[in-house]
Structures are given as C-alpha cells and as structure tokens.
C-alpha cells in the first residue's frame, strides 16, 4: 500500500560537502560534440553515492528526469526547475524536469521526455537524447534515472511551469573547482522564455 509523503523543507536539509577539492572540468569537454562522443562510448562508472538514506516508508517507484543541456553556440547551460511550494512531493526543490513513470511509458527516456513536455512544455522535437547516468534513489523511495539531452537554444516552452520556475545555469558555473562570486544585480541565471 502506498502512503502519501509528508511535506518537508528542502532548504532545511544541511549541505554536508562540496566538490571544491576536485579539479575544474576542461571547457573542451563541455562542448556538444565532446558530450556526444562521451555518451556514445561511456566509461565504466559507479557513483560514490547511489541514493539518500530512506526516510519515508512507501513502495518504491520508478521515475526519470531529463538533464537538459541547452546549446548556445558552443556553450551549454543546464535547465533547472524550482518546484512549486504547494506541491505534495518535493515542494520547493530545485530539480531537473521529470517525474514518475507511467505504465504506458516504454522506458526511462520516454518518461523523461513525457514529463519534461508536461512540466515545462519543451517539445521532444527540440531534444536530442545523448545518454543516461546511473539510477539514484531518493529519500522518498523514487528510483530516478537521469536522461541527458542536448536542447536547441531557440526552443520555446508551450506552457507555463506548474506553479514553479525554470532557470538556465551556464555549465561553466557548475564545474568542480570553479568558484564564482557575483556583484549585486548580476544575473545568476537566465530565464527560459515561456
């Protein structure tokens, strides 16, 4: 039997570490063609952490997220969403677009594309799936499969995000070993046009 997941404040969860000790990723590895090559022949990789400690008792569920890398010429940004605060599951969390698998979904890719289209209105025709990452298990017992894709930058969302927000963050700001400071008034992200 499935029980509902209680609301919790994601900002109250402590940060227990960061990747500041790792070297920065070479910018040449963050180009669309380099990523296509990397995912076409991925290395054997086992993540250091495969999930969060299970906090909620409920039946595990399959889910997928899309890791949308928006192409701006030869640079990339990652599209993130902030879930609406009134939602029952994962309220207020910054996340990749995605969600629970439906019985009619053929696979994790289908789930990620369907959920992204429903959530942010990004049509599949603008998305080039290039690979996936290992499954991650959340504290709410979702087994999440991240699907990595390149997105044309001129793509427009057809619908509004379900009560939340969407942002693009340049990949250059997200690599380990990279520290950035912002002056007041400097944009930290770019709004994806709706």
DSSP string, 95-114: E-SEEEPPTT--SHHHHHHH
| pTM (predicted TM-score) | 0.77
One digit per residue, the tens of pLDDT, for the chain of length 194 reads 444 444 556 566 666 666 777 787 888 888 999 999 999 998 887 777 766 666 667 788 999 999 999 998 888 999 988 877 776 666 677 889 999 999 999 999 999 999 999 888 899 999 999 999 999 888 778 899 999 999 987 655 554 445 556 778 877 766 665 544 444 444 433 333 32
Residue 136 included in any domain: yes
Residue 93 included in any domain: yes
DSSP 190: B
Residue 193 included in any domain: no
Domain count, the chain: 1
How confident is the model at residue 153, as a pLDDT?
A: 76
How confident is the model at residue 115, as a pLDDT?
A: 93
Q: How many angstroms separate the most distant Cα atoms in the chain?
A: 51
Helix (H) or strand (E) holding 61: strand 61-72
Q: Are 172 and 179 in contact (CB under 8 A)?
A: no
DSSP string, 8-55: --GGGSPP---STTSPPPPGGGGSHHHHHHHHHSPPP---S--BPPP-
CATH of the domain at 81: 3.90.79.10
Classify the C-alpha dihedral 41-44-48-53 as positive or negative: positive
């Amino acid at each position: 039997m499935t029980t509902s997941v209680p609301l919790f404040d994601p900002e109250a969860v402590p940060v227990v570490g960061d990747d500041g000790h790792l070297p920065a990723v070479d910018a040449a590895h963050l180009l669309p063609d380099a990523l296509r090559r990397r995912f076409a022949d991925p290395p054997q990789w086992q993540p250091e952490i495969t999930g969060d400690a299970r906090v909620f008792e409920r039946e595990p569920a399959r889910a997928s997220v899309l890791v949308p890398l928006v192409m701006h010429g030869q640079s990339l940004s990652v599209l993130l969403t902030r879930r609406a605060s009134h939602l029952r599951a994962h309220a207020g969390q910054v996340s990749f677009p995605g969600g629970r698998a439906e019985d009619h979904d053929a696979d994790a890719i289908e789930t990620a594309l369907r959920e992204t289209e429903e959530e942010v209105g990004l049509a599949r025709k603008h998305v080039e799936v290039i690979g996936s990452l290992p499954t991650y298990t959340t504290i709410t017992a979702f087994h999440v499969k991240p699907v990595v894709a390149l997105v044309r930058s001129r793509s427009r969302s057809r619908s509004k995000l379900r009560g939340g927000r969407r942002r693009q963050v340049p990949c250059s700001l997200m690599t380990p070993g990279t520290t950035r400071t912002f002056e007041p008034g400097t944009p930290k992200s770019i709004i994806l046009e709706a």
